[in-house]
Structures are given as structure tokens and as C-alpha cells.
Structure 1
Amino acid sequence: MSHHGGRVPDHLLIRITQRTDPVSALSEDDARRRSLAYPKLMWGAPVFGYAVEETIGRWRILSLGGDRPQGSRDGLGSYFRRLRGETPETAGHAVERREYQEAIRLLDWEVVDDLTVHDRRYRIIRAQPFIRMGPDGPEPPRPTDPDPYPSGSTREAPAQEEGFVIDPAASTGLSDGLLRIEMVPAFYQAGIVPDEVRADSRRALASHPNVVLLPVGFTIGEYVDGAWQPRSFSTYPTPQAARDSAFLRFSDIVPHEDATLDEIRAAYTRALEEFESPVTDEFEIRGVCCRITRVERFVRVGPDGPEGPRPSDWDPEPPPELHCQQLREQGLLPDPD
């Protein structure tokens, strides 16, 4: 493929820069050791969010972490509601407020993954999580992973991906550059997912031929019936935030399946008072071995920016107003006053 002036387009670049400062050197050494100790990459279910285009080819993530595209569309609608509420009700801002209102109505009624509002492009984006596995299980946090918040104060920890700029041309270190190169041709293998999911993943190699790594997150894995599985599908910004979440699973708190709301509230209060956050990356909960697990994610990018939802992605719910209309037509929801 030839390009004007011999220049490679930004969306195809992987620019590796050798970094010699002590922190980068330690991080590179950590990455090398862990790639040998945990050589198998296991993909999880995709996550979704929404982003805004900052400049051509560079998109800033506003939110990420939903398990369905429609949840992210709803989130984008809420984002526009907030922007509209913050916009002054003056004649000079009438066009801006009207555009936000039109975007809100559009997202309430239609499946829309890409739209322009007040001269800015917004998009529902798709990210692919994966973890590293080794003979002893999933990869735990690395010594160089930041973990600045003490136990009990991790609610202050911001989501690492919010505000992150998806920029394929930004320079990267050696280990991340090699990982990006490894992920570029990766797609679902036969027999693991349905045929339509695999076909979509192959098409993405052509439509979005590069990848950008996102900030690392952390979750809890548990060893059950001879295999490791996620205790929760939530991802936390630091290892300690994941440790602090260890008691929050509903099934560990409610006393029995027929518990009343008051019993559930009392059990939750009791669990909160009695809970002591683990101080290590391996611990037991009700006799089950658990491990803080490092979760990496990437976004595919193409000439028009980050990849959006695929046709085969699980997306069972319609937009909210359309859903309400469907329920009224079925007699399952009363007509509005």
C-alpha cells in the first residue's frame, strides 16, 4: 500500500521509544518477567463506553466499563442532559441547548453509535479486556503498578480510563509496543465463540487495523472447582480498590434467598462493619481462594477513530423511550398521564 509522500497514516503507527529513566526501566523489566511467567492471554467479554473526538484521529474517553452498548448510549444521553443543564439559558446559547436536547431525544428513541453535537463528534466505543495466565493462575498486580490509596479510601481513586486519549501515534515503551504488535492480528478462534462473533472479529482486522492499549485495571479472581474464574466482572483502578471490593458480592451478604429488604439492609450493615480489607493479593473468602488479578484492555482503531459496537455484540435492550412504547403496546406499562 502506498501513501502520499511515503508517510504512514497516524492510525497505522506504533511508535516505540526507548525510555531510560529508572521507573521506565523497572516497568519494562516487570513486563518482561511477567510475559514469561504468565504467557497465555485470555480474552474476556468486551466492554463499552463513549468518547469525544479531541482532534482528528484522537479521541478522549468520557466513560468506559459497560457490558452492553445500549447502557453506554444511555450514559451518553445522561452526559448530554448534564451539559444542557450546565449551559446558560440565554439567547447566545440557544442553539447549543437545542442541539443537546435533539441528541437526548435521538438517543432515547434510536440506536445511534456516532453523532455530532455542537460541532463535536461523539462515539460509542468497544474495548477488549484480557488477562495473562500462567501455571499458577492469573497474573497478580506488578510491583510497579501504582497503588497510592490506603485501605478504606479507594473511593477517591479516579477511573484510570476516563480522560484517557486514544492516540495510536503516541509513543510507547518497548513492552507495550510489542504487545500492541501482538494484538494487531488477534481475533477470536474457531470453536470458542459463535461463527458470527468470529466473523466480526476477523472483519475488524481490516476496518480497524491498529490497537491502542488502555490503562490497566484490577479485579478479583477465585479458584472454584479446579479452575480460575472472575469473582466479579467489575474492574477497579488500583489493586487496593479491588481488595476493598472483596465483600461486596450480593450472594456473600444476604442471609438467605427469601430475605426481606430489612434483613438485607441489616446484613449489609453488619458486613460493612465487620469487613477488613485484605492486605495481600491472595486471600480466602468463605474458604474460596481469591487473587487480585491484573486486567489489560485495548481498543481497535481505524482511519476514522476507535471501533464501535459490532453487529454480533450482545445488545438486547432497545433505547429507553422506544422500550417504554413497546411495553405500552403489549399492555405491560400504563400510558403516561
Structure 2
Amino acid sequence: MAEHGENVPAYRTIRVAGPEGPVEAVADAAAWQARAAYPDILSAGGPLFGVVREREAGGWELIVPFSGSAPQDARDSMGAQFRMLAQRCERDGDTDARQECLRAAERTEWETDDEMTVLGTRYRVARAECFLRSGPEGPEPPRPTDPDPMEPGEAYRAPDPSAGFVFDPVIATGMSAGILKVELLSLVPKSGTVPGAMRDDALAAALTHPGGVLLPAAFMTAEKIHGHWRPNSVANHTTPQSARDSLAMALRVKIPWKRGLGPRERAPYSAAADRFDAERGDELTVAGGHFRVVRVERLVRIGPEGPEGPRPSDLDPQPPVMVQHQQDVERGLIPADGGPDGEDDPVELDPSTRRLAALVGEEEARRERLRAGRRSPEPDGDAT
């Protein structure tokens, strides 16, 4: 039966309002301009997973960012949340509550539950779909209105703009965000473009979770290969600089390691990373490779019971940690009794791993020198 007027559930509404201030007005204008320059909406890779908690005041709150590329990543994080909650209960002297939290944490180590109730509060693994805008010149880079406060190499210190995000589809958005939400909610993979199970799950989600909420934008990097742009990182960077730092690290460490480059062959990549740090641009060409920082929109579908959880067709290759441990024991990879056999023996790294460790060590030393330089006081200009 069709729903009209006041009978429409809150999770199916999209409220649009004018910008609250000049900053919001500029951001809404930039979003509208992006529609013309980058008219196509494409998938930005697979979904990401985080952990949400039901609020006493209603709705759900994000407590673990959408950074996991598989549901098990978020389940592990949910277990860690329960252990931290157990520590708080211990400090408060609540032994029974502590035990309940620890039992819940241990359960996440053996079972694949995507929703659990602990101390009367529901926790859930939630799913976010990732999209990017694209046009004749390729995927959309960061916008001038996207917050980008940190220096090169320091982006990991920036606060996550989605921390504590409340999933409330009734909260009004700007005109451009409201239209984008409608567009993203209507997207379903075309037949033949993805495995049938994935398309079936997407069609089912459009019915079970017809509403949606847009998270703050995220960022990733992409590389142009044979004329086509391909993501080469996960869309879990919270600022443009975080994505730049990831690419700079790849140029200084990952690419030289994977390709077995010597000091002279590494030089062009290191120089390109230095330029990238100095210019803080969004594109980079080095040794025939063309890279770009890309802006990503993230949508969480909402239904009558809250944010959507993992779908049956989502890739979930790793079992819970204790199940994986048990499997390793059965394969003879580790001692069955967890005894001391080999525990105290030094770990012998293979040549490839030693080379990677050396490159990582060089990069850490370089960043520490930069930090030390920033901490050093400016010389007194009046000194003689």
C-alpha cells in the first residue's frame, strides 16, 4: 500500500533546507558545480564496514569508523569496544557488568554475529557503500571546501569528521546533498556487471533499507592505467592529506619494495613524493605513472531497524580470530597446546621482508627529522 503525507516513515524522508551559514552555502555551491563537471556516479570499490550503537535518545551513533574492508574487520573492532567497556566497568567497581562485557568480547572471537546487545544497548556492524563522481577528465578530486587541516605526514593526527556521527535521516541537508542522496539510493548494479548474488542483495536492500544517510566525504587514490582510472587504495582516508600521505608512503616504500628498486632507481619516486608533500596537489606523474587523489561519497542505507548490516554476498574471507587460531592448530602451523616450542627463538626475516623493514625504517626516520625541525625554535633574528 502506498504511503502518503504524515504516514511516511522517518527513514524514508529526505528533508532539504537552505544552508545554515556562508561556509555551508559555499560547500553546497561547490557540490552543485561538481554535478556539471563530473556528471557520472560510479562505484568507488567495495563497501566499508564500521560499528554503530543504538542511542537512548533514538537513532544510532557511529563508534568505529567505516574503515574495515570486510565485515570481520568491524566485528573485531566491536569486540575491542566491549573490552574497553569492561575496563570502564572495572574502574566503576561493577563486576557483573564487566563480566557481561568480557563474555560479549569473547563471543566475537568465535562467532560471526553482526549485532549484539551488551548492558542493554544494541551494537551493530554497519555497511557503507562508496561512490565517486567522474567526468571527461576522470574522477573528481577533492573540493576546495573539503577540510584539510594537517601538514604532510601528520594527517593521521586529524580528527575523523565522522566520529560520533548520528544516523538521523530526518536531519535536513542542502539541496545538492539531498539530490545526491536520491541518486545514490536509486542505484542498483546492472545485470551482468556483478555476480547475480550481489545484484539480488542490492535489489533486496532497496526494499528493506529504502532510506539513507550521507557520511562526510572520504578520500582515496587512483592510478590511470591504459587510459582507465583504477583505485589503488581503500576509500577510508578522512582528509585529502591523508590520501596524499598514503600515496607518498607508497612512492617511498611500497613501490620500491615491490619492484625491488635500488637507491638510484628509487630516486625519482622519492623526488616525486617530496614534490607532492611540498605542493599538496591532487595529481602526480612519476616514471610513467599518473596518480590522483579522489573524493568519495559514502552512503549508509537505513531501514525501520536502523543502518544496514553486511549483506550475504559481501566478501568476508577471514574467520573470527579464535576460529582462525583453531584452524592453524589443525593444520600444524602452531603448537596445539600453545606451549613454548619456538616461542623464544628469534624470528628470522626473509630478504624481502628485511628490505621492506629497512624502507619503512628510513621513512620513519625521515618523518621524525621533519617533526624535529618543526619543533625547533626559530633563530633569534636580533642575535649577532
Q: 1:127 to 1:281 in 2, by over 3 A?
A: same
- Is the contact between residue 222 and residue 233 of structure 2 (CA under 8 Å) also seen in structure 1? yes
Secondary structure of the 1:65 match is strand
2:71 maps to what in 1?
A: 69
2:364 maps to what in 1?
A: none
Whole-Å Cα distance in 1 between the matches of residues 255 and 192 of structure 2?
A: 34
Cα shift at 1:153: 2.8
CA radius of gyration, larger in: 2
Q: Which stretch of the first structure deviates more once superposed, 326-335 or 192-201?
A: 326-335
Whole-Å Cα distance in 1 between the matches of residues 166 and 174 of structure 2?
A: 17
Q: Which has the higher contact order (CA 8 A, sep 6+)?
A: 1
1:32 maps to what in 2?
A: 32
Runs of 4+ aligned residues of structure 1 deviating over 3 Å after TM superposition are 1-7, 255-259
2:154 maps to what in 1?
A: 153
- Is the contact between residue 10 and residue 57 of structure 1 (CA under 8 Å) also seen in structure 2? no
Corresponding letter in the other structure for 2:38: Y
Secondary structure of the 2:42 match is strand
- Is the contact between residue 40 and residue 134 of structure 1 (CA under 8 Å) also seen in structure 2? yes
- Give the structure with the higher percent strand: 1
1:186 maps to what in 2?
A: 187
- Is the contact between residue 209 and residue 303 of structure 2 (CA under 8 Å) also seen in structure 1? yes
- Is the contact between residue 221 and residue 292 of structure 2 (CA under 8 Å) also seen in structure 1? yes
Q: Which stretch of the first structure deviates more once superposed, 10-19 or 81-90?
A: 81-90
2:314 maps to what in 1?
A: 313
2:221 maps to what in 1?
A: 220
Secondary structure of the 1:172 match is coil
Corresponding letter in the other structure for 1:88: E
- Is the contact between residue 57 and residue 305 of structure 1 (CA under 8 Å) also seen in structure 2? no
Q: Which stretch of the first structure deviates more once superposed, 217-226 or 148-157?
A: 148-157
Whole-Å Cα distance in 2 between the matches of residues 4 and 176 of structure 1?
A: 23
Whole-Å Cα distance in 1 between the matches of residues 192 and 313 of structure 2?
A: 16
Whole-Å Cα distance in 1 between the matches of residues 214 and 241 of structure 2?
A: 22
Q: Which stretch of the first structure deviates more once superposed, 18-27 or 199-208?
A: 18-27
* Of 54, 78, 81, the match for 2:80: 78
Secondary structure of the 2:249 match is coil
Whole-Å Cα distance in 2 between the matches of residues 154 and 178 of structure 1?
A: 31
Q: 1:57 to 1:184 in 2, by over 3 A?
A: farther
Structure 2 gap segments, 5+ residues each: 340-384
Cα shift at 1:328: 2.2
1:297 maps to what in 2?
A: 298
Percent of aligned positions that are identical: 40
Q: Give CA-to-partner distance per residue, 1:70-96, whole Å, 9 cap, x none.
A: 111111111212222233256x51121
Whole-Å Cα distance in 2 between the matches of residues 255 and 189 of structure 1?
A: 36
1:175 maps to what in 2?
A: 176
Cα shift at 1:146: 1.6
| 2:261 is the alignment partner of 1:251 | no
Cα shift at 1:257: 4.7
Q: Which stretch of the first structure deviates more once superposed, 163-172 or 47-56?
A: 47-56
Q: 1:56 to 1:314 in 2, by over 3 A?
A: farther
Aligned residue pair count: 329
Whole-Å Cα distance in 2 between the matches of residues 39 and 130 of structure 1?
A: 12
Whole-Å Cα distance in 2 between the matches of residues 282 and 89 of structure 1?
A: 50
Secondary structure of the 1:80 match is helix
Corresponding letter in the other structure for 2:255: D
- Is the contact between residue 11 and residue 57 of structure 1 (CA under 8 Å) also seen in structure 2? no
Q: Give CA-to-partner distance per residue, 1:243-301, whole Å, 9 cap, x none.
A: 22222225323275599xxx9xxx9xx969x7451421122233312211101110001
1:318-333 superposed matches below 5 A: 318-333=319-334
- Is the contact between residue 123 and residue 308 of structure 1 (CA under 8 Å) also seen in structure 2? yes
Q: Give CA-to-partner distance per residue, 1:107-140, whole Å, 9 cap, x none.
A: 1111100011011110001100010010000001
Whole-Å Cα distance in 1 between the matches of residues 129 and 333 of structure 2?
A: 36
1:111 maps to what in 2?
A: 112
2:351 maps to what in 1?
A: none
Q: 1:212 to 1:331 in 2, by over 3 A?
A: same
2:243 maps to what in 1?
A: 242
Whole-Å Cα distance in 1 between the matches of residues 295 and 208 of structure 2?
A: 29
Whole-Å Cα distance in 1 between the matches of residues 104 and 309 of structure 2?
A: 18
Whole-Å Cα distance in 2 between the matches of residues 11 and 111 of structure 1?
A: 27
Q: Which stretch of the first structure deviates more once superposed, 112-121 or 277-286?
A: 277-286
Whole-Å Cα distance in 1 between the matches of residues 174 and 226 of structure 2?
A: 39
1:8 maps to what in 2?
A: 8
Q: Give CA-to-partner distance per residue, 1:286-324, whole Å, 9 cap, x none.
A: 331221110111000100000000001101221111222
Whole-Å Cα distance in 1 between the matches of residues 254 and 299 of structure 2?
A: 31
Q: 1:334 to 1:258 in 2, by over 3 A?
A: farther
Corresponding letter in the other structure for 2:144: P
Cα shift at 1:45: 0.7
2:234 maps to what in 1?
A: 233
Corresponding letter in the other structure for 1:81: R
1:139 maps to what in 2?
A: 140
Whole-Å Cα distance in 1 between the matches of residues 56 and 12 of structure 2?
A: 17
- Is the contact between residue 218 and residue 235 of structure 2 (CA under 8 Å) also seen in structure 1? no
2:89 maps to what in 1?
A: 87
Q: Give CA-to-partner distance per residue, 1:144-199, whole Å, 9 cap, x none.
A: 11222233332221222222111111111111111111222222211111000100
Cα shift at 1:326: 2.6
